């Protein structure tokens, strides 16, 4: 296995097992020196009084009773906020201090997820009931009652028990195996809620505005592909005329699209890793500031009446203080303060407003945070609805009847207060103004929109925003983190966005003088306004967007020691191409690209923080490789179609490569029609696309001209497999067949007659060494059910179709197979084989390699693998230019069979 592959595998295992830790890791790196003395929970093992903390038992999950889960201000804030009835306080606070149970979700298509779940329910759960360990009853994992189809589970058992207690140890092996191959994803329970309330259908165009690390994006993508397997199978089996959908996709494929975006360049790449395992051609990843997300062109750029993409569904899982994550995030206890939310409030409102602008009329937008603070929640919803023109334009959807088993509390109708940095409570903005006495210390950070506007309105006042329709989830209700969700529906097109109140205006109301009469130094303004003639997307530069994005807080946790952005005024540069055409638009005010510092003023520095994790003076990220679609009559595509007998109903126009010359040299990717339209129409407009397409075919060196050098890449298997002609398909139904293929590397095909013929041929050629090797006895058995079929196949890549049959398999399966001269081999990594053996056969024994590696059967693969290793080493020494890297990949592919054994 090459170093690069080892690195990639480690990364994906790491992020699959623990997306949250992957995120924390990124920030931990940034703060490496500062945190050098900290333990794995982020504390210094000392409480505030300097006492050494008690260490958790070796191997046990961090127990928050043993580290300082105390922050008097955090406690006071929520106690005095009166979010909950007094009698619930102890439960709430007690839950917040306990370690969060581990929760996980079965991923992939519904059918696939259900079959992985079946193994849990049938093989493991029966053995995990009524077990006592160290004299205590151990809780078995339990399905989260509110999650559909039992596809999400939780467990509170500690690691030591899992390791030592045999039934749990076996269960742990299953969890690790399935997580490694991406069938199970660890995700916090509350974080699974927002996508479930979005009502996504396979034709929807969905935008995930703040998507990294991508656990919710994964849910959205799965929803887009819901039912696709069955639809594609039916279409492939049915007549050609019936499967053309209105959106131009044929063959039952989902026509929708998910665009996942994150403003942080590094985190947008984390997003790619997280979603790659889904192998979706209906996904695009972008890297933009969501407050100014660009309008994407979908009409021909030359057309006069330009059309821009509008979304059926939008998720804004915005950056927030994350104070609902205290059960897993030690920094909340350490760093919480009331003013962290102040700067975030403005960004959150802008993200929500921008989302509502881009939403289709009738479309749904979900706003969520993992904070419990009303300033980041109800206040944001209220302000965004107001800025969009009120309840005529946007309504809050009542989702009380959804997920009936989910325990929740209604949003706050009003009455919340704002605590300033001196820990003083304010009920109205006017009180702040009065207190400020012209010193302008408070109003710089506290804005009018943070206060409730609906408190005094009666329930039947039609102008009252029904904030109680928002959803609050508290830790003690069902042993989760704290979370906030609101579902919004756009009722009418939003023609104008009401301006945010500027600091100038705030000061004007304070001093009771006119706005004009109150000059304010520009560099002291944390939030700017720019009045433009039309609704504008950010200035997109034709350089592919190398302009650094503006600063903003990273994830929900505020980085109190990150360098803060200098507050500066940025010109909102109206690109006429980027304007959303809206009839009768008068002057519309949009926020400029200035984003306030995410941290208290006292820690601000003048050095701008760059999302890319580099100083803005640095070079920035490398430009993304362009996305170029291959002409449908290209000879390479013709060869592929011919070799695999691909149906004419499979689209030839959606294959692309990642090089400016549009040359299929190494990998060919497949995308959906809509993704293609968006990539092509927005080329050169400065939209920062960082990912799209599923690797469908990879080039490799082949010895014989009749073998197609383009093998099907496992990522693209489920996309192309239904359309492959009979000449490259092997059929199986029996459990024994699949078991033998998984269990053994390179099982033999062909009878003794062919073996003998080969030996004689070798002898004739006088290959002494080869003859010597042939003397080694090859005692492998052929696999009866497929032996004849495989013998009849030409060499090269093919697929194994396993059909569900009574008493054998309950689900259909498709697996990649490679036919060599005298053997065949499933092209599956060892981890995947092991997971399947465990899932399908409850078999944990080692994979057999009864082959003689020196025999002629392996010679070709061994040579190729050696060549691949040498080339990779040379590349690492810098002896091979990157443009020749495809040779390395090809050699690797050739040696893939051999690699599977390593």
Ligand X SMILES: C[S@@+](CC[C@H](N)C(=O)[O-])C[C@H]1O[C@@H](n2cnc3c(N)ncnc32)[C@H](O)[C@@H]1O
Report, in Å, the least distance between residue 532 CB and ligand X.
19
Which lies closer to ligand X via its Cβ, residue 291 or residue 713?
291
Report, in Å, the least distance between residue 186 CB and ligand X.
12
Between strands 257-261 and 283-286, the pairing is: parallel
The Cα 418–Cα 424 span in angstroms is 8
Does 317 contact ligand X by CB under 6 A? yes
Handedness of CA 712, 714, 720, 726 (dihedral sign): positive
| Stretch of residues binding ligand X (CB under 6 A), selected from 263-271, 337-345, 481-489, 511-519 | 263-271
Instruction: Tell me the two tokens of residue 898.
Output: 């051999």
The Cα 137–Cα 131 span in angstroms is 6
Which lies closer to ligand X via its Cβ, residue 260 or residue 574?
260
814 bridge partner residues: 801
Which lies closer to ligand X via its Cβ, residue 314 or residue 890?
314
Which lies closer to ligand X via its Cβ, residue 42 or residue 251?
42
36 is in an annotated binding site: no
Burial 127-148 (b: 16+ CB within 10 A, else e): ebeebebeeeebebbebbebbe
Does 889 contact ligand X by CB under 6 A? no
Contact yes or no for 248/673 (Cβ under 8 A): yes
Does 366 contact ligand X by CB under 6 A? no
Which lies closer to ligand X via its Cβ, residue 100 or residue 712?
100
Does 556 contact ligand X by CB under 6 A? yes
Instruction: Tell me the two tokens of residue 498.
Output: 């009401």
Instruction: Give how far Cα 211 sits from Cα of 147, 268, 284, 466, Å.
Output: 21, 8, 12, 28
DSSP, collapsed to helix, strand or coil, labels residue 845 as: coil
**From residue 507 to residue 546, what is the string marking binding to ligand X with x (rule CB under 6 A)?**
----------------------------------------
DSSP labels for 498-529?
Answer: PPPPPHHHHHHHHHTS-STT----GGG-SS-E
The Cα 511–Cα 515 span in angstroms is 10
Does 594 contact ligand X by CB under 6 A? no
Report, in Å, the least distance between residue 557 CB and ligand X.
9
262 is in an annotated binding site: yes
Contact yes or no for 719/804 (Cβ under 8 A): no
Count the alpha carbons within 13 Å of 832 in the hemisphere toward its beta carbon.
Answer: 13
Which lies closer to ligand X via its Cβ, residue 448 or residue 555?
555
213 is in an annotated binding site: yes
Instruction: Tell me the two tokens of residue 163.
Output: 């390791």
Report, in Å, the least distance between residue 205 CB and ligand X.
18
| Stretch of residues binding ligand X (CB under 6 A), selected from 70-78, 237-245, 553-561, 735-743 | 553-561
Instruction: Give the helix/strand (H/E) hosting 541.
Output: none
Report, in Å, the least distance between residue 871 CB and ligand X.
37
How many binding residues for ligand X (CB under 6 A)?
A: 24
For tokens 């479930």, name the residue: 196
Contact yes or no for 487/399 (Cβ under 8 A): yes
Report, in Å, the least distance between residue 263 CB and ligand X.
3
191 is in an annotated binding site: no
Contact yes or no for 667/699 (Cβ under 8 A): yes
215 is in an annotated binding site: yes
Which lies closer to ligand X via its Cβ, residue 42 or residue 553?
553
Cβ neighbors of 718 (< 8 A, separation 6 or more) are 229, 279, 814
> Which residue among 320, 370, 692, 708 is the active-site one?
370
370 is catalytic: yes
439 is in an annotated binding site: no
The Cα 731–Cα 785 span in angstroms is 9
Which of 199, 195, 10 has its CA nearest to residue 105?
195
Which of 312, 179, 178 has its CA nearest to residue 254?
312
The Cα 721–Cα 729 span in angstroms is 9
Which of 418, 419, 430 has its CA nearest to residue 510?
430
Instruction: Give the helix/strand (H/E) hosting 815.
Output: strand 813-819
169 is in an annotated binding site: no
Report, in Å, the least distance between residue 262 CB and ligand X.
5
Q: What residues between 205 and 224 interact with ligand X by CB under 6 A?
A: 209-216
Does 796 contact ligand X by CB under 6 A? no
The Cα 679–Cα 661 span in angstroms is 16
Report, in Å, the least distance between residue 4 CB and ligand X.
26
Which lies closer to ligand X via its Cβ, residue 157 or residue 197?
197
764 C-beta neighbours (distance < 10 Å), count: 8
212 is in an annotated binding site: yes
DSSP, collapsed to helix, strand or coil, labels residue 669 as: strand
Does 565 contact ligand X by CB under 6 A? no
539 is in an annotated binding site: no
Instruction: Tell me the two tokens of residue 6.
Output: 């080892």
The Cα 384–Cα 350 span in angstroms is 8
| Stretch of residues binding ligand X (CB under 6 A), selected from 552-560, 648-656, 694-702, 755-763 | 552-560
Instruction: Give how far Cα 873 sits from Cα of 108, 878, 887, Å.
Output: 36, 9, 13
**From residue 264 to residue 303, what is the string marking binding to ligand X with x (rule CB under 6 A)?**
x--x---------------------xxx------------
Instruction: Give how far Cα 120 sits from Cα of 180, 375, 491, 672, 821, Å.
Output: 16, 42, 44, 34, 39
Does 555 contact ligand X by CB under 6 A? yes
Which lies closer to ligand X via its Cβ, residue 664 or residue 686?
686
Report, in Å, the least distance between residue 541 CB and ligand X.
18
Report, in Å, the least distance between residue 481 CB and ligand X.
12
Which lies closer to ligand X via its Cβ, residue 544 or residue 613?
613
Report, in Å, the least distance between residue 351 CB and ligand X.
6
Report, in Å, the least distance between residue 275 CB and ligand X.
10
Q: What residues between 332 and 351 interact with ligand X by CB under 6 A?
A: 347
Instruction: Tell me the two tokens of residue 887.
Output: 């040779």
529 upstream amide cis, omega within 30 of 0: no
Task: Please identify which residue in 141, 548, 554, 651 interacts with ligand X, judged by CB under 6 A.
Answer: 554
CA 526 vs. chain centroid, Å, equals 32
The Cα 667–Cα 699 span in angstroms is 6
For tokens 């396979």, name the residue: 202
Between strands 409-410 and 394-396, the pairing is: unpaired
Contact yes or no for 886/666 (Cβ under 8 A): yes
Instruction: Give the helix/strand (H/E) hosting 698.
Output: strand 694-699
> Can you say which residues are annotated as belonging to the binding site?
210-216, 262, 289, 317
List active site positions: 370
The residue ranges that bind ligand X (CB under 6 A) are 191, 209-216, 262-264, 267, 289-291, 317, 319, 347, 552-556
> Can you say which residues are annotated as belonging to the binding site for S-adenosyl-L-methionine?
210-216, 262, 289, 317
């Amino acid at each position: 296995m090459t170093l690069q592959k080892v690195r990639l595998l480690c990364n994906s295992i790491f992020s699959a097992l623990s997306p949250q830790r992957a995120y924390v890791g990124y920030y931990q790196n940034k703060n490496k020196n500062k945190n050098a003395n900290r333990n794995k929970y982020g504390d210094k093992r000392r409480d505030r009084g300097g006492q050494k903390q008690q260490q958790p038992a070796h191997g046990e999950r961090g127990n928050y009773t043993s580290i300082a889960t105390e922050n008097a201000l955090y406690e006071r804030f929520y106690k005095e906020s009166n979010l909950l009835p007094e009698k619930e306080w102890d439960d709430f606070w007690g839950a917040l201090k306990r370690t969060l149970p581990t929760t996980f979700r079965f991923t992939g298509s519904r059918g696939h997820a259900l079959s992985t779940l079946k193994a849990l329910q049938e093989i493991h759960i029966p053995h995990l009931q009524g077990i006592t360990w160290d004299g205590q009853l151990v809780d078995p994992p339990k399905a989260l009652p509110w999650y559909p189809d039992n596809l999400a589970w939780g467990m509170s058992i500690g690691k030591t028990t899992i390791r030592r207690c045999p039934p749990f140890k076996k269960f742990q092996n299953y969890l690790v195996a399935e997580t490694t191959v991406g069938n199970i994803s660890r995700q916090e329970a509350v974080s699974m809620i927002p996508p479930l309330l979005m009502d996504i259908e396979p034709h929807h165009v969905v935008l995930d505005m703040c998507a990294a690390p991508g656990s919710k994006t994964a849910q959205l993508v799965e929803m887009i592909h819901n039912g696709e397997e069955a639809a594609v199978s039916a279409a492939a089996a049915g007549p050609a005329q019936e499967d053309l959908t209105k959106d131009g996709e044929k063959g039952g494929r989902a026509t929708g699209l998910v665009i996942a975006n994150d403003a942080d360049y590094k985190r947008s790449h984390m997003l790619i890793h997280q979603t790659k395992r889904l192998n979706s051609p209906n996904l695009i990843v972008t890297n933009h500031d969501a407050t100014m997300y660009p309008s994407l062109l979908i009409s021909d750029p030359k057309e006069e009446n330009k059309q821009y993409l509008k979304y059926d569904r939008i998720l804004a899982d915005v950056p927030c203080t994350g104070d609902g994550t205290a059960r897993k995030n030690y920094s909340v206890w350490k760093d919480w303060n009331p003013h962290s939310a102040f700067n975030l409030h403005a960004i959150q409102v802008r993200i929500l407003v921008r989302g509502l602008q881009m939403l289709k009329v009738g479309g749904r937008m979900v706003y969520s945070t993992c904070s419990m603070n009303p300033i980041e929640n109800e206040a944001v919803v209220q302000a965004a609805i107001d800025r969009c023109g009120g309840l005529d334009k946007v309504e809050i959807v009542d989702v009380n009847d959804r997920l009936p088993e989910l325990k929740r509390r209604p949003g706050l109708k009003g009455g919340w207060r704002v605590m300033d940095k001196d820990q003083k409570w304010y009920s109205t903005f006017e009180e702040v103004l009065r207190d400020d006495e012209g010193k302008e210390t408070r109003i710089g950070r506290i804005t009018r929109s943070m206060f409730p506007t609906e408190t005094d309105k009666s329930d039947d006042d039609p102008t009252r925003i029904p904030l109680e329709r928002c959803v609050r989830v508290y830790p003690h209700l069902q042993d989760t983190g704290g979370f906030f969700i609101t579902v919004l529906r756009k009722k009418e097109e939003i023609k104008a966005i009401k301006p945010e109140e500027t600091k100038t205006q705030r000061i004007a109301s304070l001093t009771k003088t006119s706005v004009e009469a109150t000059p304010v130094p520009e560099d002291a303004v944390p939030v700017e306004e720019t009045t433009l003639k039309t609704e504008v997307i950010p200035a997109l530069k034709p350089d592919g967007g190398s302009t650094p994005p503006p600063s903003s807080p990273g994830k929900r946790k505020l980085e109190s020691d990150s360098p803060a952005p200098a507050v500066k005024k940025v010109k909102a540069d109206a690109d006429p191409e980027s304007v959303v055409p809206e009839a009768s638009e008068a002057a519309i005010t949009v926020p400029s690209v200035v984003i306030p510092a995410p941290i208290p003023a006292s820690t601000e520095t003048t050095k701008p923080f760059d999302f890319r994790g580099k100083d803005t003076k640095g070079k920035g990220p490398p430009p993304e490789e362009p996305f170029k679609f291959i002409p449908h009559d290209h000879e390479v595509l013709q060869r592929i179609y011919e070799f695999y007998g691909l149906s004419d109903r499979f689209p030839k126009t959606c294959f692309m490569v990642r090089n400016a010359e549009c040359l299929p040299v190494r990998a060919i990717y497949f995308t959906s029609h809509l993704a293609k339209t968006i990539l092509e129409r927005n080329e050169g407009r400065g939209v920062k696309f960082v990912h799209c397409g599923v690797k469908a075919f990879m080039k490799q060196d082949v010895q014989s001209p009749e073998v197609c050098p383009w093998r099907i890449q496992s990522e693209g298997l489920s996309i192309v497999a239904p359309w492959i002609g009979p000449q490259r398909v092997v059929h199986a139904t029996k459990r024994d067949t699949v078991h033998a293929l998984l269990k053994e590397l390179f099982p033999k095909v062909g009878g003794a007659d062919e073996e003998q013929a080969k030996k004689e041929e070798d002898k004739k050629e006088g290959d002494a060494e080869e003859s010597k090797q042939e003397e080694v006895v090859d005692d492998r058995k052929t696999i009866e059910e497929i032996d004849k079929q495989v013998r009849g196949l030409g060499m090269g890549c093919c697929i194994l179709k396993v059909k569900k049959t009574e008493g054998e398999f309950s689900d259909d399966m498709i697996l990649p197979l490679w036919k060599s001269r005298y053997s065949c081999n499933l092209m599956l990594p060892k981890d995947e084989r092991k997971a399947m053996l465990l899932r399908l056969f409850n078999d944990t024994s080692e994979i057999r390699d009864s082959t003689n590696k020196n025999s002629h059967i392996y010679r070709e693969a061994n040579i190729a693998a050696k060549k691949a290793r040498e080339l990779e080493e040379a590349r690492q020494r810098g002896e091979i230019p990157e443009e020749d890297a495809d040779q390395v990949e090809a050699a690797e592919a050739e040696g893939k069979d051999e690699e599977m054994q390593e």
